[in-house]
Structure 1
Amino acid sequence: MTEAQEQYRHWLAQSQSQPSNAVAWFNLGWWSTKVGLFAASLKAYEQALAFGIESPEEAMSNMASVYSERLGQIEPAIQWLDRALLQNPQYYPAIFNRAHIAEQMGDRETACRYFEQAAGLAPGDAYPIARWVEANLTLPEASSAVQSLRRFAKGKNPDALMALARYEEQGEQYDAAWDALIAANTIDQKAYPSWQALPVQSKLTSQLTEVLPQQSTTVGATVGITPGATAPHPQQQIPVFIIGLFRTGSTLLEQILAAHPGFAPLGESEFWPRQIHALGGGMVSPGRLPDTQLCAKLRQQWQLHLRDRNIAPGLIATDKRPDNLFHMATIQRVLPEAKFVITERDWRDTLVSIFGTRLHPQHGYATNPEAIAEHIRFCHKIADFWCENHPKSVYRVSYEALVSDPEEQLMPLFTWLGTPWHPECLNFHELTNSVRTASVWQVREPLTTSRQGRWRNYDGPLRGIFGEALDSPDPPPSLGLE
């Protein structure tokens, strides 16, 4: 049993033995969130408020986080944040989260206003300043936000350096932008666990070898059923997993599908990462494959997850978590009817974009251009494996082809998904749904080819790393990284 589960049971017992103890209910709410019991978490926080918890704005802000980050329900999240700010207009978490939600919804003006307010309440914190500038990269150099950002960057704050890199690139100051990226990633390299590609690759390769005989028996079938798995109910919609590598257009593709009346986006759902963790895996490292009994349990939990996320019957849920690429074997074993769409992009543009994004420390490759290139190459091998051995369940989408000729690329995809084309999909940028990825502002714009060839802005430093290999359409072979 994990520490979170132990603490959850402890506070559950406390709340039952002391039903009017507001603190016990508050702690139960916090630990319920940790173990993924979100409905129970909300009820516990409500009990804490009912019994007069001290500083109720904290419980209200936590409830807003559960609604927005866990359940994808924005309206109740905003309502609880507004209630928290009525209790305490200077409560930093509620102000920052209000800005965060506005950003997710594409409301730039509101996001900037609340990020500015948050920055004023925490003058020693670079993060709200960084988010404020990133939400408005056209701020003038003389603005207080940009000047504060530069001071934090000079102090070697990685969040400030990353935001400064985006600001410099917006102003076409590419040498300064690259210098900021190098500085930010050098700091993270020292702070993050050492990245070792070979053990991760070896573990996943071993798992793919294990599932290969099972997958090969299904080649040519309309829907592959792994031996021992439960077949889908005829009325159940086939879930679609948009996977691949970060910064390859996965958010863009999910937004395009979200504009179709037959689809419901989950965003980067935490459901499968939570299960993979319980199976001994991580973000880029697979866990053990579940047996038949566990598959049935996980399948039921997945259906409950869709219900908690208010996915209406008949809609196709899209789960857009790129690192599910490493967990396809587990997902396919539990949901044999699932379809996987792998997004891919020019490796050089992908590399620059990943290098300019602070990913979770488990993605340690992201701080080193050579390691990023090696990781991209390995992801291509994984995609090749699934396309060769399970072709009916896997579809590849090229970012460049998508933005250059969207209808030409999308119509075959919708045919493969068994859903008619819908012209409104090209108006995806008009959606006001919540987007919780680094592409939050890009997907609020119409399709454009302007981001193709972004890597050429950094040709000099990249060529110093990769030499003539930079001119190849394929990432270079391993450079001996471990």
Structure 2
Amino acid sequence: MKRISDLHSQAIKLINNKAFIDAHPLVVNIIRQDPEHADAYFLLGIINMEVGQPEKAIQLIEKARQLDADSEREYLVYLIKAYSLTRNREKVENLEGIFSQHKSHSPLLLDTVGVALNKVGLHHQAMDYYQQAIDQDASKESFYYNYGTAAKFLGRFDIARKAFKQAIELNPHYVKAYFAMTELSESVAELVPDMQKLISQVNNPDEQLHLAHAMAKEYEKQNHYQDAFSILKQYKQHTLNRIKYDHQAEDSLFDALHTLAESPIQQQGCASNQPIFVVGMPRSGTTLMERILSSHSMVYSGEELHDFSITVKAHTGTASKRLLDKAVLTAAYQADHTQIGKQYIQRTAALSKEHPHFVDKLPFNFLYLDLIRRALPNAKVICMLRDPLDTCIGNFRQLFSLQNPFTAYALDLDRTAQYYQRFYRWVHQFNDLQHPNFKIVRYESLVTSPESQIRDILSFCNLPWQQACLQVENNSAPVSTASKVQVREPINTKSIERWKRYQPHTDEIEAFFKAQGIGELS
């Protein structure tokens, strides 16, 4: 039997090399030999966090903290990180308060806490931690990149631009910084030759996809829309060829949504009317709607919350690694919907301390429409609907995380159209159920006649009229979505019929929507 010290050293080496599966049995072996080995529990927590099980990681790291108070600081940082992955903002805030009482933190720990704060929407605090990390070590490009990302979310674009530029100067191969630079409104055409050279040099497909999106954004700024579409199609196809995209599971989920929504409601649900859910396809105006609502003095912006999906998953007890699939959805209909609603309100309690209402703007919550109706019958739900061609092009142009199981469709324009058709049919079936707290808002109507539309929306939400809701450009709340630049502008119609710039690449999906009877949104 190997000595514990040898197992420990080997496990750390494997974890540092991201060989988490190989490290797992070594750490388990340590715990078998020494059930009170604190660092083994900590390492096991790290492994679980990296393989997508943050709830289990939390339990393990808490155990490590109990066994070894001397290592409190490092364990605490990764506990904060684990809670941020569950989007538990209140826990992150509380634990950060404990961490801040310690002195003399290393730059890496400061940066890690900053990332956790950023993930739960605490961007101001995150910037402070990144700045402290940079002050101690100005040689790490990732510190500047993270600092710039937080600044971008806060609308401080000049600061963000400088930070991303510094990251590139420190490491000309730092791909993420190129993409982040191109997301800002100003052109960085001078970087295109570097990106063209770099995309042929990097071997990582994810980095190639980042560069393809960055180059496409610059081509668009120069009105070279055919070039933009071509490079996206090329590298998105490369990605699609190597990932396991289970479109059949996707279709099965939508089929289950239609069937289960017809089942009778047998519980009262949680009575809270605090949440206002804003749902819809990505790139359909959900962020604009969130900005309109959060400009109201009675409404707080929760940004994109994952609390409802996490709560539903926890109540199903299913073994599926996905937050939502047919098995999880089916089990969710057997769960206690009242308790789901209550736990969701408990998880989001920090958002409604000073405001009667908060916005939960996670687009894919449209998959939970009927469960929201059952768990939180008094919650308002606004579903954004945008022209199908503009929506599909917007999704195809968007760089989604490859770890997000809901967005693989966007790697292919035809599949994006099929996904939109599924979404469209589902929300209209749900609308036919005549839930009084559900409202479809058409993006084109909203931006064409904003005042009349916003008055109607506020009335639906039982909110008095406030002029500030019409002037979203004055809303200083952070924005961490793909629309972070656009929503800093006054409401406008510039994005209507943007799809026409990409003809004839859109001809096939245009014909598809006409055949499906999805054209003019009426």
Task: Give the structure-2-normalised TM-score.
Answer: 0.79
The residue that corresponds to 1:272 in the other structure is 308
Shift in alpha-carbon separation, 1:409–1:155, aligned structure 2, 3 A:
farther
Q: Report the counterpart of residue 58 of structure 2 in structure 1.
A: 8
Pick 1 or 2: higher relative contact order, CA cutoff 8 A, min separation 6: 1
Identity %: 18
Inter-partner Cα distance in structure 2 for 1:470 and 1:29 = 46
For 1:85, the aligned partner's letter is: I
Secondary structure of the residue that 1:380 maps to in structure 2?
Answer: helix
Alignment partner of 1:260 out of 296, 306, 310:
296
Q: Could you tell me how far 1:93 is from its partner in structure 2?
A: 3.3
1:403 corresponds to: 447
Unaligned runs of 5+ in 2: 1-47, 203-207
Note the C-alpha offset of 1:228.
Answer: 2.0
Deviations 1:18-60 (A, max 9, x none): 111244444444444445555555666676776778x622222
2:337 maps to amino acid: C
Structure-2 residue corresponding to 1:303:
345
Contact 1:119–1:129 (CA under 8 A) maintained in structure 2: yes
For residues 300-329 of structure 1, what are the alpha-carbon distances to aligned partners after superposition, in whole Å with 9 as ceiling and x for unaligned?
3322332334x2354221111111111122
Task: Look up the match of 1:133.
Answer: 182
Equivalent residues of 1:15, 1:28 under 8 A apart: no
What does residue 159 of structure 1 align with? 210
1:81/1:94 contact within 8 Å kept: yes
SS of aligned partner of 1:460 = coil
Aligned residue among 183, 207, 231 for 2:234: 183
TM-score normalized by structure 1? 0.85
Question: Residues of 2 paired with 1:164 and 1:261: CA distance?
Answer: 40
- After superposition, residues 419-458 of structure 1 pair within 5 angstroms as 419-458=463-502
Q: Select 1:203's aligned residue among 250, 253, 256.
A: 253
- Structure 1 residue 339: deviation in Å? 1.8
Distance 1:186-1:290 versus aligned 2 partners, 3 A rule: closer
Instruction: Tell me the residue number matched to 1:222.
Output: none
Please report how far the alpha carbon of residue 155 of structure 1 lies from its aligned counterpart in structure 2 after TM superposition: 4.7
Partner deviation per Cα, 1:230-278 (whole Å, 9 max, x = no partner): 451xxx5442111110110000111111111121111111212323444
2:168 touches 2:177 (CA, 8 Å); kept in 1? Answer: yes
SS of alignment partner, residue 429 of structure 1: helix
Paired residue for 2:416, among 340, 355, 372? 372
User: How far 1:407 sits from its partner (Å)?
Assistant: 1.4
Question: Take 1:347 and 1:467, find their aligned partners in 2: how far apart are those partners?
Answer: 9
Alignment of 1:23-422 (within 5 A): 23-35=74-86, 39-41=90-92, 56-70=106-120, 72-139=121-188, 141=189, 143=190, 145-155=191-201, 157-196=208-247, 198-214=248-264, 226-232=265-271, 236-278=272-314, 279=316, 280=318, 282=322, 285=325, 287-288=328-329, 289-290=331-332, 294-309=336-351, 311-361=352-402, 362=405, 363-422=407-466
Aligned residues: 454
The 3-state SS of whatever aligns with 1:341 is strand
Question: CA 1:370 to 1:77, structure 2 compared with 1: closer, same or farther past 3 Å?
Answer: same
CA-atom RMSD, angstroms? 2.8
Superposed CA offset, 1:449-478 (max 9, x none): 121111111111222x347457679548xx
- 1:92-143 CA-to-partner distances (Å, cap 9, x unmatched) read 333211100111112211110001111222322211112112214423x3x2
With over 3 angstroms needed to count, the CA separation of the structure-2 counterparts of 1:351 and 1:459, relative to structure 1, is same
**Structure 1 residue 296, shift from structure 2 partner:** 4.2
SS of alignment partner, residue 461 of structure 1: coil
